[in-house]
Structure 1
Amino acid sequence: MNKKELLAIAQHWFTNQGWKPFPFQKKAWDAYLKGENGLLNAPTGSGKTYALWVPIVLEYLKKNPDYKTKHQKGLKAIWITPLRALSVEIAQAASRFAEETQSGLTVGIRTGDTSQKERAAQKKAMPDLLITTPESLHLLLSSKNYPKLFKNLNAIVVDEWHELLGSKRGVQTELALSRLKTVAKNLKIWGISATIGNLDQAREVLLGAKSEALQHSTLIKANIQKKIEVKSIIPESMEKFPWRGHLGLHLLDEVVPIINNSKTTLIFTNTRSQCELWFQKLMNKYPEFAGEVAMHHGSINKETRLWVEQAIRNESLKAVICTSSLDLGVDFAPVETIIQIGGPKGVARFLQRAGRSGHQPGKASRIYFLPTHAIELIEASALQKAVEKKAVEDRIPYLQSFDVLVQYLTTLAVSDGFYPKEIYPEIKSTFCFQGLTDEEWRWCLNFITKGSQSLQTYDEYKKVEIEDDGKFKVNQRGVAMRHRLQIGTIVSDAMLTVKYVKGGFIGTIEEWFVSKLSPGDVFTFAGRNLELSRIKGMQVLVRKSKKKTAKVPSWMGGRMAFSAQMSELLREELYEAAESFTVTSSGVEKSPELKALQPILERQQLESIIPKHNEFLIETFKTREGYHAIFYPFEGRFVHEALGSLLAYRISLLSPISFSIAFNDYGFELLSDQEIDMQQLLDNDLFSAKFLMDDLYKSLNATEMARRKFRDIAVIAGLVFTGYPNKLIKSKHLQSSSQLLFDVFRDYEDDNLLFQQAFRETFEHQLEEGRLRQALERIHQQKIVWKSCQKPTPFSFPIITDRLREKLSSEKLEDRIQRMLKQFEK
């Protein structure tokens, strides 16, 4: 068959479905059939799966003209997805096209949810298309004789590449691709990405720096104008002193008409605990929603999650309260409306969530923004502009992740073994390890065979043996088994299973939350009030409780920070609000959000100022708690945490003083029992970016942060074993084992690459040192406006209440804040 006949098959199939292929789909078919690699950028719900699965099938038909009578067995294509939940969706779409074109091609799934029986069947006969995750692909690379399995592989498609890029799972994917390019000679690699700013770099990371695959590649952008309607839910009356305490629950009644007027609504919260709270409050106040509203987050058991996903598809649910567990491409056509509770912290995440509604080509997406406190309306206004401009964030790829490299080398040694001479050029061809030196390479090889310089006397770290012909190989069965159990880069706190005393699995919860509970305590989980009976091994045994008050679990991954893009948009919006106070007849139409905020902005202007683009605001005032100094960089909580510590350290060098620090996405507070000499602070240029790394190191107790980061690195690199299934090692034991190693390296081997990586990741990823430096440079150019205020201002109030939340229960906090409000509004 020639190319024209092949494309006619696809065209005919699309016509039968009542569809018309998009130009970007046709471009992808054409590029793939020409033998090119590439990256496809298209919005969610626009038919990306068929853009790449169609040409994979067509190529098979071309190579096997007698495909109807004779099927060529073996793995032909791999589809990598970051989320297990997406695999069912992709499998259904792929099977449909494969069956209806009578290609005879089979589709299979292999993820952490795949049963042992299914895996055993796949071992005997692999499907033609395997849908898998980065972790499961590495597990296949750890099996004996894997080159035979992959030798006829024609294509690898990496779905949702923007999700993997900028994470260690992305590095894992890069390494797997570098190996498979050598094993499968005719391999084509394609990535699919939705919302991302740095597309060219994303393609380079996927295909390998300066690689041949990159030379023969293309970037295809879908020119689909997805209409996104953004509407803010604006409260009837505005609090003059906004605070974050009620998590948006005061607007619960505004949400109900939206739910009733839509087929299905997804309500996105930023944290699992917020998700639990919203579900609980909605059910208590509107019991008529029983059976029509469900909850979905990553800690709820798999059966419940799958049931919820299916119920959305067949329209038997009116609403689902969820977290980022439903962020990615699960295709829910009935979803009409999205409600976002609180700032999504990033433009890409907001667009991604908006795309969950109107999930069909040509349909508009509708998203409501519900502020958890009034000042978040500025975020809503900024997001509307971002949606118009399509201003999305870049994803920053990881470099020199030695923990992932060490794990990967052990994976290869567990399967058939490897010769360093063959593997080194492959690893150097990846984006992550393009700067790997010969010395660092030798260190990695030494590490897996001897356990690094300071651990040489301990046999447990000598995992890989060097055979007579120079092959690096794992020959001990126990080492191989433990390694396979620990393949992956997602390191979470130890998860305990939550079960009823009489049996029945509910979900998983982090050990650190459970460790704070005593038998008899009641907590809310999976929409139920549960009383803790006892903790037995790795199980939390509970019974249902009728008590009305309950603790809400919080998860360590809870708090997200502003992206740099979002911070910039927010500042622009704020500067515009400030200008509107000085320019009376500018003729610029204000957004509904800024109009609604007018009483708060007026109060802020009365007590202090709203900073303009060339101004940096500092406010000071005294309360019964002490002397407050509030700084407003509008850079997100992670940058503010670092900036607050840095400034506190620099002030303490001028005069002995101690602070407690509080921060949110807008600014940070230094609270002390003595007055800060603000003039001294301004005269000494304490916002300078000079000596930044040195001062940060001293101010933040960077060693302590790196020590925590090292736990994850030690687990990924296989220095610490997390335990067998159902017999996991407790996190405090993991922590103490990794701390011990950290101390050994600090004292005896500070050039250890994993030890150094812990500090590098702390500064680059946790403290966002690059952004911090830019923020200081920006502040340096602005005019510093110091306002000595009589009492807290509307801008400072959410920061003060954030600090109080850490100390008080929610009821006491509510009372305390009401008393404060009465006092300040006089």
Structure 2
Amino acid sequence: MSEPGVPPEITAWFKGRGWRVRRHQAEMLGTSDAGKHAMLVADTGAGKTLAGFLPTLAAFCPSRIGDGAPPAGLHTLYISPLKALAHDVQRNLITPVEEMGLDLRIETRSGDTSSDKKKRQRSKPPNILLTTPESLSLLLSYPESFELFAGLKRVVVDEIHAFATQKRGDLLALSLSRLQAIAPDMQRAALSATVADPESFAAWIAPWGDMDAVDLVRGEQGAEPEVEILLPVEERVPWGGHAATWAIPQLYERIRKNNTTLVFTNTRFLAEYIFQNLWDANDDNLPIGIHHGSLSKEARRKVEDAMARGELRALVCTASLDLGVDWGDIDLVVQMGAPKGSSRLLQRIGRANHRLDSPSRALLVPGNRFEFLEATAAMDAVDEGQRDGEDFRPGGLDVLAQHVMACACAAPFEERALLNEVRSCWPYAQVDDATWIRVLEFVATGGYSLKAYDKFKRITRDKDGTWRLTHPDQAYRHRMNAGIIIDSEMLEVRFRNGRSLGRVEERFGAGLRPGDTFQFSGVNVEVEQIKDMELIVRASKKSAMIPSYGGLRLPLTTHLAERVRGLLTNRAGWSRFPDDVREWLEVQDWRSQMPGPDNLLVESFPHAKRHYTVYYTFTGWNANQSLGMLITARMEAMGLMPGGFVANDYSLAVWGLKPVEDPRPLLSPDILTDEFIDWVQDSHLLRRAFREVAVIGGLVERQHPGKRKSGRQVTFSTDLIYDVLRKYEPDHVLIEAAWADARARMTDIGRLGDLLDTAEARLEHVVLDRVSPLAVPVMVMIGRESVPQGGADDELLLEAETLAGAAMQVEGLPEGLE
């Protein structure tokens, strides 16, 4: 029996597979038939992507077409945050299209797509185009975009939570507004499994913020995931470290017992490191692969295809495979180290089984004791169905400038019409006239301080008020340099025969010399030659280091931080913890006290002829780094002779030659006024933020015909411009954009402000005669960065044992805690 409104071809295809059309899938089709936009929130494995495409498939079903011809031209755009996801969706969508005999063509378009294919897609588009926000923005910069998108019926935004609150979301929101202007009847559909506030995302996807135009569709409930925390069999949960390499023997046994295991890490360095450790333990020569964003397209595609065919027993990866990839034969998902958020963990867990009626199995592997608490908190959140996520914020002005330039490349525009179009999307709904004029003037001249230089003149205004390009070449330059993801500058790693392995960061490659070896994509390679922006290498059997990568760390979410605090103060709940973790907390509770949900615990103690103060902030690494800088500056001004600081997600340790008698003056809220501004302006943070917004805004070009600027050249150019603007035009639109980034991403000033408010009202200062148990995990980090490679782990273990021995001495403990 067919679902009401669902074409019989679709119902029959589902039935042939032993499936049924689920309620939310039928609702998505009904919403489309009613002419409304949709926001679908459904568990992983619930068939979200197919639900998003169901109206498109229905439009090509013979039962709906009748005697007419199938829709011609581009019918549906699918927007994915990841290239891997777009290719996976294409692979999975082709099956129902072919088996239903539908006359439609599906193609992908991303940075990996050849220039010839991209050109052909503009003149002869497929019916369904799977792409990314950046590629869509570039498509909209072509004059033929008006004809290309004129008949567009539908846009499906998958995994909307992955970019809606970020700059990629800003770019996509602007592109959707432009598409809606070109194709007024276009329907929007957004899909996600892990949003905490679906209504906010529905408002984001709605044109003009019109919530009444969007139906919020909720999916059927799936099977509860099965989550387990891996613990050492004979040893203790480590005091410090985050690689969790202690678990490799146990992890390898799990891989041997399962068909396919997906091993997630939080960084590219850890992916390479864990992969190598697994290979060292791989006595059975099991096929184990690696996947991260710095590997070559060929290497990534080879691994993805092997996974799709079920040929790998394990795959070590990063966030490059976080989202939506449908490999139904994965038995187990492993999270190495802390998950940092319950939504991120749910997303990763959902890669296992990927079926709504089968529980996903996940294994959390904590690197240290705080990460054990974080893993426990995340597991509890998953059990309770609690999600977390980033807050929405106003759209970036650098992104708006890039969009203005893309529109000018497509055709001359009238500024008021384009402003109305810009204001129709949520991130830019509040852009006022003055800000709009500043953005236009920046794109036109570079700003007041730079208007004398012709190189910054990109658009000009005619007497009738129409804006157009100053020269046709500007369009070519824009398309070569447009984009939102600003990674560190990279060097290509190639064998002498030309085969590419991928890319390493320029700052890592700059330190290499011929004969040096490093490990990449699971291969030890030796540098033969450094040529332009390439490292020419050969395979080597010598021991090798692993490339390090920069970039901001995954932040510990506020939701998860509060849960960890709750675990610390719920003494009755400690009974479910391993003996060593429970003892750690019990000795801390006896010797000092616990950080509470509503206070800020600060401990002071002497160690190794220095005076230490540890602040238990739970605000994440970025905020703690900022706080460390500010506190040490105040200590210097107060004559306390600071020596330095180290931070993790949970705490900050600061030391000096004189003791901190009262930490309150170091934490007064006014530290975020003059001192914060002075520190950010004098530090590398604002310069780094300016480099990014200058590239995004089009002020500095990385790519020229036949040549790409090195990272040093880009830095030199942006630093020169930054110094000029700070001196002569401090209110420049890009300085404002850089400040917004520095506050939000690099310093996490929102959480920092909340922390200082808590410190002013509820600070608990405990003076101790020695290091406390809770301080050991952050204390073992001191000096770690300066330890030579190869000795870091041994040095860390030695320091941890020394500190732990002092912290956990039990003389005088109450009876029952000994």
TM over 0.5: yes
CA distance in 2 between partners of 1:750 and 1:45 (Å): 50
CA contact 2:269–2:548 (8 Å) conserved in 1: yes
1:319-346 deviation digits (Å, cap 9, x = unpaired): 1111111111110111000111110111
CA distance in 1 between partners of 2:313 and 2:497 (Å): 32
CA distance in 1 between partners of 2:743 and 2:65 (Å): 57
CA distance in 2 between partners of 1:524 and 1:129 (Å): 40
Matches within 5 A, 1:115-134: 115-134=114-133
1:675 to 651, 658, 665: 658
State TM-score, norm by structure 1.
0.93
Q: In the alignment, what sits opposite 1:248? A: 244
CA distance in 2 between partners of 1:725 and 1:279 (Å): 38
CA contact 1:276–1:525 (8 Å) conserved in 2: yes
Letter in 2 for 1:154: K
Letter in 2 for 1:281: N
CA contact 1:191–1:206 (8 Å) conserved in 2: yes
SS in structure 2 of the partner of residue 38 of structure 1: strand
Letter in 2 for 1:465: T
Q: In the alignment, what sits opposite 2:397? A: 402
SS in structure 2 of the partner of residue 219 of structure 1: strand
Letter in 2 for 1:645: M
Superposed CA RMSD in Å reads 2.3
CA distance in 1 between partners of 2:568 and 2:677 (Å): 32
Letter in 1 for 2:778: I
Q: In the alignment, what sits opposite 1:585? A: none
SS in structure 1 of the partner of residue 428 of structure 2: coil
Q: In the alignment, what sits opposite 2:780? A: 801
CA contact 1:266–1:339 (8 Å) conserved in 2: yes
What's the CA shift for 1:555? Answer: 0.9
User: Do residues 359 (structure 1) and 354 (structure 2) align?
Assistant: yes
User: Do residues 659 (structure 1) and 639 (structure 2) align?
Assistant: no
CA distance in 1 between partners of 2:677 and 2:358 (Å): 51
1:250-276 deviation digits (Å, cap 9, x = unpaired): 221111221111110011111111111
CA contact 2:350–2:360 (8 Å) conserved in 1: yes
CA contact 1:538–1:726 (8 Å) conserved in 2: no
Letter in 2 for 1:608: S
Instruction: Give 5+ residue unaligned stretches, structure 1.
Output: 581-587
What's the CA shift for 1:556? Answer: 0.9
CA distance in 1 between partners of 2:126 and 2:194 (Å): 31
CA contact 1:168–1:398 (8 Å) conserved in 2: no
Letter in 2 for 1:280: Q
SS in structure 2 of the partner of residue 611 of structure 1: coil
Q: 1:155 to 1:76 in 2, by over 3 A?
A: same
CA distance in 1 between partners of 2:748 and 2:583 (Å): 35
Identify which range, 686-695 or 49-58, moves more after superposition.
Answer: 686-695
SS in structure 2 of the partner of residue 288 of structure 1: coil
SS in structure 1 of the partner of residue 216 of structure 2: strand
CA distance in 2 between partners of 1:240 and 1:182 (Å): 57
User: Do residues 561 (structure 1) and 540 (structure 2) align?
Assistant: no
What's the CA shift for 1:612? Answer: 4.3
State TM-score, norm by structure 2.
0.94
SS in structure 1 of the partner of residue 325 of structure 2: coil
1:572 to 566, 570, 583: 566
SS in structure 2 of the partner of residue 20 of structure 1: coil
Q: In the alignment, what sits opposite 2:39? A: 39
1:210-240 deviation digits (Å, cap 9, x = unpaired): 44xx331111111323311111111134548
Identify which range, 450-459 or 556-565, moves more after superposition.
Answer: 556-565
Matches within 5 A, 1:698-777: 698-701=678-681, 704-724=684-704, 727-777=707-757
CA distance in 1 between partners of 2:671 and 2:606 (Å): 32
1:46-92 deviation digits (Å, cap 9, x = unpaired): 2112212112232455997346x734421111111111111122223
SS in structure 2 of the partner of residue 339 of structure 1: strand
Letter in 1 for 2:502: G
Q: In the alignment, what sits opposite 1:463? A: 458
What's the CA shift for 1:723? Answer: 1.6
What's the CA shift for 1:150? Answer: 1.0
CA contact 2:240–2:800 (8 Å) conserved in 1: no
CA distance in 1 between partners of 2:62 and 2:16 (Å): 22
Q: In the alignment, what sits opposite 2:606? A: 622
CA distance in 2 between partners of 1:5 and 1:671 (Å): 69
CA contact 2:600–2:758 (8 Å) conserved in 1: no
Q: 1:687 to 1:309 in 2, by over 3 A?
A: same
CA distance in 2 between partners of 1:237 and 1:628 (Å): 33
Identify which range, 507-516 or 438-447, moves more after superposition.
Answer: 438-447
Letter in 2 for 1:491: I
Letter in 1 for 2:630: L
CA distance in 2 between partners of 1:520 and 1:606 (Å): 55
Q: 1:626 to 1:726 in 2, by over 3 A?
A: farther
CA distance in 2 between partners of 1:27 and 1:551 (Å): 53
Q: In the alignment, what sits opposite 1:300? A: 295
Q: In the alignment, what sits opposite 2:138? A: 139
2:475 to 476, 480, 502: 480
Q: In the alignment, what sits opposite 2:264? A: 268
Matches within 5 A, 1:85-164: 85-164=84-163
Give the length in aligned residue pairs: 804
Letter in 2 for 1:96: T
1:646-673 deviation digits (Å, cap 9, x = unpaired): 333333443352331110112011111x
CA distance in 1 between partners of 2:598 and 2:121 (Å): 63
CA contact 2:43–2:219 (8 Å) conserved in 1: yes
What's the CA shift for 1:3? Answer: 10
Percent of residue pairs bearing the same amino acid type: 29
SS in structure 2 of the partner of residue 811 of structure 1: coil
Letter in 2 for 1:675: K
What's the CA shift for 1:617? Answer: 2.8
Letter in 2 for 1:93: N
1:462-502 deviation digits (Å, cap 9, x = unpaired): 11133454332225232211111112111111111101234
Q: In the alignment, what sits opposite 2:16? A: 16
User: Do residues 650 (structure 1) and 644 (structure 2) align?
Assistant: no
Matches within 5 A, 1:440-589: 440-474=435-469, 476-548=471-543, 550-557=544-551, 559-576=553-570, 579-580=571-572
Q: 1:313 to 1:97 in 2, by over 3 A?
A: closer
1:142-164 deviation digits (Å, cap 9, x = unpaired): 11232111111111111111111
SS in structure 1 of the partner of residue 352 of structure 2: coil
Letter in 2 for 1:201: S
Q: 1:657 to 1:530 in 2, by over 3 A?
A: same
What's the CA shift for 1:697? Answer: 2.0
CA contact 1:501–1:543 (8 Å) conserved in 2: yes
1:336 to 326, 331, 336: 331
CA distance in 2 between partners of 1:512 and 1:770 (Å): 31
Q: 1:13 to 1:753 in 2, by over 3 A?
A: same
1:601-650 deviation digits (Å, cap 9, x = unpaired): 24434553333445533233333362221111222111211222233333
Letter in 1 for 2:565: R
CA contact 2:75–2:127 (8 Å) conserved in 1: yes
CA contact 1:239–1:600 (8 Å) conserved in 2: no
Matches within 5 A, 1:677-692: 677-679=660-662, 681-682=663-664, 684=665, 686-690=666-670, 692=672
Q: In the alignment, what sits opposite 1:166? A: 165
SS in structure 2 of the partner of residue 597 of structure 1: helix
CA contact 1:696–1:702 (8 Å) conserved in 2: no
SS in structure 1 of the partner of residue 104 of structure 2: coil
What's the CA shift for 1:507? Answer: 0.9
CA distance in 1 between partners of 2:53 and 2:446 (Å): 44
